[in-house]
Chains A and B, each alone.
Chain A
Amino acid sequence: MMRETIATGSPRSAAEPTPSEVQSAVARFFSIENRYLPPLFITLILLVSQLSFGVLESFSRTLLAIGTAMAFELVLTRLVYHKFPVLASAYITGISVGILIRSPEFWPYALTSAIAITSKYVLRWRGRHLWNPSNFAICAMLLLAPEYVATLSIQWGNTIWPMLVVWVLGAFITWRVKRLHITATYVVSFVVLAAVRTLFTGHAFLAEVAPITGPMYQLFIFFMITDPKTTVKSRRGQCIVAFLVALAEMAFRLAQNVDAPYFALAVAGPVAMAVSIWMSSRKPATATIAAGSPAGH
């Protein structure tokens, strides 16, 4: 019926898109190159979680984090590369900071975003930045200002349904951008290593696996560890790094560190990146390392 309606409809104007143009536009939007898909997804998570469960400290603090990240990205890109940046990754950095850190003060939100964006321009080796920006900044704040900053540790509601929605949507989008294997490797590693941790702690398996059912991990597994600018190039290497992050996290957890995933990524991620860059530099003919203006979130 729909096909018939289109076929027999009124004559199209020149500016009106054809069905195939619409289809290709939709396809383009959901293409793996579409850098706006992750920002759209994280915005959706933010809005749904805030409107339904009020997970944010406040909208104003999150907006401050987003605004600071985008402003720093704009200014630093202009100063360093003399061009206007695409602000998608800065937006994700800001929104991640706005969701993931908790502070009654306003300044930590601005400062964390500022550190995150600046780190991309400073902590570089052979044209690439080593740390995931928001992860680096959150770790820095946890170490430097624990009196004022904690990380998100609450749930989204008291049922599994909101998280299932996030998992399904997140899995779809990371699949579209060819990152699902990273997320999957990490999740499987976390669950297996949770079982291993019970051998050390003697605690119930469900207690050890409980953290990954919280919302903080949804951002961590879909946005932080999959960041294309701070992951290694090969698919196998990406899986290995995801496992190493989970392994490092186990070590932090056994040391009873409440922010284990952040510190694990901050330790394992750059080491893996450095090794990858070094190995690529030894094989110039086969490696393609994207140098140039910083992105990443």
Chain B
Amino acid sequence: MRIALAFLFIALLATPLIYKRVSAHDKASRRALSKESVLNRYGFRFEESSRAAGIDFRHRSPKLDPKLQHIMAQVASMGAAVSIADFDRDGWPDIYAVNSGEGSSNALYRNQHDGTFRDVAAEVGLADLNEPGTGVSTGAVWGDYDNDGYEDVLVYKWGRPELFHNDAGKRFTRATGQAGLPKWVNANTAVWFDYDRDGKLDLFIGGYYPEDVDLWHLKNTKMMPESFEYAENGGRKYLFHNLGNGRFEEVSERLGIRSRRWALAAVAADLRGTGYPDLFVANDYGVSELYLNEGGKHFREAGKETGIGYAPKSGMSAAVGDVLNQGRFGVYVSNISEEGVLVQGNNLWMPEAGKPSTEPHYENLANSMGVELAGWSFGVQFGDFNNDGFEDLYVTNGNVSLDRKRSYWYDYSKVAGGNRSIISDAANWPPLDGRSLSGYQQKKVFLNDGSAQFREVAQLVGVTDVYDGRSVALGDFSNRGALDAVVANQNGPVLLYRNTLAPGNHWIEFALEGRESNRSAIGAEVRVYWNGQQQLQEVSGGSGFCAQNDRRLHFGLGKSNRIDRVEIRWPSGRTQTLTAPAVDQRLSIVEP
């Protein structure tokens, strides 16, 4: 009996090693694939081509108050961001990248239609937004707030948010004063959406640090989160109702948005089929929040009620996707996972089957679908990279990459688990001293196989960088039916991953323009029905981490060369059906 027990004990101890060996064998066998095999097997391949495309942008972190010098790289670890918009209406998506060094310039890369881009930010007035004393840029979202046909832009900052009016794609005029935006918000997220469906885009801005904190001139060092998982001492949230004529009214308190959690990401989408966009907010140092839109008149926070508001993590990013082609959105939220230290895992909140869509309840299926472990994750986006008809997932990783051999994790975890009075005072935080904190991490590209399983293929398909990834945005930059990815990295370059597709799969894209609805058509839903299935996408006014995808919608169709029908529900409520449109084309549709 003793011998049998000893064998059992050894077998139990050996189990993790066997499990790892089996997993490693699977990875090794995939690593042996040639590039051609990868293209054939996965249907696409990314190639980093920023230099060839003329994109030479490099992000710089800010230098904050000297009182934070000992942990500067950690505190100033955000700000790299990209968004995509066709600012000049030439039919080709452009790229806006923001910078965060004091005195640094933002860049607006105009698409030259030949695979290259040219920075025109200085020419059009969108470069110099980081002057000392005004804060530094942390992101930008595009939306036509005055319905003149040209995408305007809000640049949010740790500082004074700036709204710019797009003057016919030639110049941008500062419209901040007239809009009535606050003088200072330490924001890491903003979203354009028409919450009351009045045809005018409204604006949500989420604060991270409290708005009375000037990170360059601290009154004291007690400005850190009061808890690693339950902090409610962050920045306030703003909801600006668009009054027309370039004026906005702040209505967050009145409409039920009162949180002071540390918001890092927000995404608006109609999660219940009510016709009104709900608002999902991913918070660092705490639970996520889901604001259900009650007829455009009120928002009801329903995190606990819907199941997403229980387990607190470090929400960094949020994106919606119709993962199972069910015509319903799941919400993916990135968090932190560090081997042996903190295994939060990312969340994939999927609506429970059988529940009425107007009262959704979500279940975290990240583990069972294979998209849970990624690293210290930031930006995420859904998109069909291989046009197989299922939305895949791009996840950027990596927090602070300094000394490769020395980690700050021990000291970080020491204070992170401490009481409020300890963690909230930056003076108590041990110095970073040149160490890395989840640095040099590989990125993740999760391929959706359509049967509720994702497979991670980043290294195989060419996403091999180990910069500190922040913001990722997707768009078809060459108008050829392939989704490319542009990635902003903290203290690093903007990368352009061009997509090479294997032949055979079909696609369709939609460029929508509202009439009664907001002209950007933000909030418009498109359902494509083909081959006995459907896929739902929605035009977004900002998603992921400090990012915005091209608002043209891209659908992969797999081998099918026939679409049954397309249903469009405009933000106004008007519906439109297209019967059997041809595949492999981009349709420009104006709201009837």
Contacts and interface: CB of A to CB of B under 8 A. Distances in A.
A118 B420 CA distance: 39
A15 interface: no
Interface string B104-121: 000000000000000000
Contacts of A58: 311
Contacts, number: 149
A80 B5 contact: yes
Interface string B1-12: 100011011001
B68 to A, nearest CB: 15
B46 interface: no
A207 B414 contact: yes
B340 A210 contact: no
B341 A210 contact: no
Interface stretch (A156-164, A167-175, A270-278): A156-164
A208 interface: yes
Contacts of B228: 154-155
Interface stretch (B366-374, B462-470, B582-590): B366-374
A230 interface: no
B310 A148 contact: no
B417 A210 contact: yes
B573 to A, nearest CB: 38
Contact of A111 (B5, B12, B407, B411): B12
Interface in A258-287: 258-259
Contact of B311 (A54, A111, A115, A158): A54
Interface stretch (A25-33, A138-146, A231-239): A138-146
A118 B411 contact: no
B415 A210 contact: yes
A206 B409 contact: no
A103 interface: yes
Nearest to A259: B340
Chief secondary structure at chain B's binding surface = mixed
B418 interface: yes
Contact of A208 (B413, B414, B416, B431): B414
Interface size range on B against A: 35 or more
A109 B5 CA distance: 20
A140 B432 CA distance: 30
Interface in A209-261: 209-211, 213-214, 216, 253, 256-259
A34 to B, nearest CB: 30
Contacts of B427: 204
Contact of B340 (A79, A146, A203, A206): A146
Interface in A7-62: 53-54, 56-58
B178 interface: no
A108 B19 CA distance: 11
B5 A122 contact: yes
Given A201-B430, A207-B429, A210-B419, A118 B8 contact: yes
A189 interface: no
Contacts of B431: 203
Contacts of B419: 155, 160, 163, 210, 213
Interface string B123-165: 0000000000000000000000000000000000000000000
A295 interface: no
A214 B417 contact: yes
Nearest to A79: B1
B9 A256 contact: no
Nearest to A201: B430
B428 interface: yes
Contact of B428 (A144, A149, A201, A207): A207
A102 interface: yes
A208 B428 CA distance: 9
Interface stretch (B78-86, B188-196, B229-237): B229-237
A102 B335 CA distance: 14
Nearest to A104: B345
Q: Which 10 residue pairs spanning A and B have beta carbons closest together? A: A210-B418, A146-B340, A158-B227, A145-B16, A214-B417, A256-B410, A104-B345, A213-B419, A144-B16, A54-B310
Given A79-B1, A150-B338, 14 more contacts: A54-B311, A104-B345, A108-B16, A115-B9, A155-B419, A157-B230, A203-B411, A207-B415, A211-B417, A211-B418, A213-B418, A253-B410, A256-B407, A259-B340
Interface of B: 1, 5-6, 8-9, 12-13, 15-17, 19-20, 226-232, 287, 310-312, 337-345, 366-367, 372-373, 407, 409-411, 413-423, 425, 427-431
